[in-house]
Structure 1
């Protein structure tokens, strides 16, 4: 799988953030508190969701990255797998079961 584009509408401190990735190796770097870990957590939560059983904000990623203005966490990732291009869209709810997930085949 190759990630092509990461778009974060709202997630943690990032809003309307778009990252176009190159086909080769990509390195995410930046100053402290610039959002590197937030981008990595977004990628993980987009593909795998997260358990939200803990009330500890450090362990509950839904609470940790919830935008302070109350808007829903959402975004998309475009990627290539097995010669096909896809877009995975996700709007995060209060739990994995309440997330709205859509996957589009961009090749067809």
Structure 2
């Protein structure tokens, strides 16, 4: 098994042992794990306060940048996990998320 840290220069400078993700080669397959993302620019400022749709868009773009580092895309995602602060923003999140995946799958981003 081989592990490769994923670090993109598109984000704020990393602190400590933090990595944006890991690519793990397990023989005939590769697993990719990414860290949680928030709508924050390189300077640490919150982006689009109060607009869950715009924040979701920024977060998905951030995830795509991380995946690009290891020649993957959002279409390769098997199991997403999202933590939303309140169920009330779920419709805005889904409004954006349902339009990004081109590949049918057993889950919805």
TM-score by length of 2: 0.26
Which structure would you say has the larger RCO, counting Cα contacts within 8 Å and 6 or more residues apart?
1
User: Going by fraction, where is strand more abundant, 1 or 2?
Assistant: 1
* Superposition TM-score, scaled by structure 1 size: 0.27
The structure with the largest helix share of the pair is: 2
